[in-house]
Amino acid sequence: MFNKKPLCRSLAALSLGVAAGSTFAGPTLDAIKQRGTLVCGVHTGLTGFSAPDKSGKYAGIDVDYCKALAAAILGSPDKVKYVPLTAQQRFTALQSGEIDLLSRNTTWNSKRDTTMGSVFPGVWFYDGQAFVINSKKNPKVKKLADLNKASICVETGTTTERNMADYARANKLTFKPVVFEGQEATEKAFQSGRCDAYTTDSSGIAAMLVNLPNKGDYTVLPEIISKEPLAPMLRRNDQEFFAIARWMIYALQQAEESGVTQANVLRMKAESKDPAVQRLTGATAEVGKGLGLDAEWAVRALQAVGNYGESYERNIKPLGLVRGMNALWNKGGLMYPMPLD
């Protein structure tokens, strides 16, 4: 049969002005299953996290997380609808139910956890706010204090604006912020020389630099002025979905710890005698059942995007960022998957 759905939807929507998109009753997970797609809010374009490639397909570590969830819940990593969101749109998009989950390098803090009706299942990427300067134009700037009285480009709608002001007050410095809407405009203003420095999460700076032809001209200052635990964000009304989202993070990290990869996951499932691997791949224990899924949930996710380390290698490594805090706990990092049992 023809696929009539999109057309009918847009027609109904456009001609009558009634609700298009999806209608669901009850908690998020039911809706996802009923609809057959996971609606994932992502960044409009941040290399390494989520950005459309030339053919319009989204790719990045935040996108991988959506794909893994879709593979686990719906059986295919392609059953995701991506909704690109700006920094201001993201929270109400989640609150209103327009998206099922926000996977858009969002900092986990107490305000967002308590007053916005949302929860964070776990940290997907540890980051921190840094400053980058053009060392050719400002060869004397070696540390943040040297930037006293400088103009600094910053994107609106992020925690960065406030972090910067806090740091300046604490250290008796003056920064002149120039605030832009959207990261593209902010980066462009910085590169044009409108500002002396640009501040954002260090991953964002790396993502900008990797694309620059003259990246040798730029220097990232040593200070990291904030903690930015970037995490997926969910509505608070669905414990089942929350559990899946949380254990997806741990499963992908556990896979890395146990050496299970995209390529060897099926063989490991059949052959491995390691109990951790057996539980992960659903060979023995019933982690999947506890989550309301089948035993193969993690296998499908791993087949779709590989383990956490693979996703990192594929998306973040090209930015020139080392694993650092994002390495596993036994490799000197902070990623500590809770045991699957």
Residues 183 to 242: which contact another protein by CB under 8 A? 184-185, 188-189, 191-194, 196, 211-213, 235-237
Torsion of CA 315, 321, 324, 326, to 10 degrees: -20
The Cα–Cα gap between 284 and 266 comes to 14
Site for another protein in 43-102 (CB under 8 A): 44-45, 52, 54-56, 81-89, 91-93, 95-98
Using DSSP, state whether 312 is helix, strand or coil: helix
Show the tokens assigned to 114: 């308590």
Min CB(242)–another protein separation in Å: 14
Min CB(180)–another protein separation in Å: 5
Q: Where are the alpha helices (DSSP H) in 154-280?
A: 160-170, 183-192, 202-210, 239-258, 265-271, 275-280
- Residue nearer to another protein on the CB measure, 195 or 328: 195
Phi/psi at 249 (5° precision): -60, -50
The count of chain residues that interact with another protein, using the rule CB under 8 A, is: 92
Among 24, 75, 173, 283, binds another protein (CB under 8 A): 24
Q: How many CA atoms lie within 13 A of 251 on its CB side?
A: 33
Interacting stretch for another protein, rule CB under 8 A, among 70-78, 172-180, 291-299, 324-332?
Answer: 172-180
- Residue nearer to another protein on the CB measure, 168 or 251: 168
Phi/psi at 71 (5° precision): -65, -40
Min CB(233)–another protein separation in Å: 12
Interacting stretch for another protein, rule CB under 8 A, among 66-74, 115-123, 240-248, 280-288?
Answer: 115-123
Min CB(334)–another protein separation in Å: 26
- Residue nearer to another protein on the CB measure, 57 or 331: 57
Site string for another protein, 123-162 (x = CB under 8 A): --------------xx--------xxxxx----xxxx-xx
CB environment 259-287: b (16+ within 10 A), e (fewer): ebbbeebeebbeebeeebbbbbbbbebeb
Tell me: does residue 23 bind another protein (CB under 8 A). Answer: yes
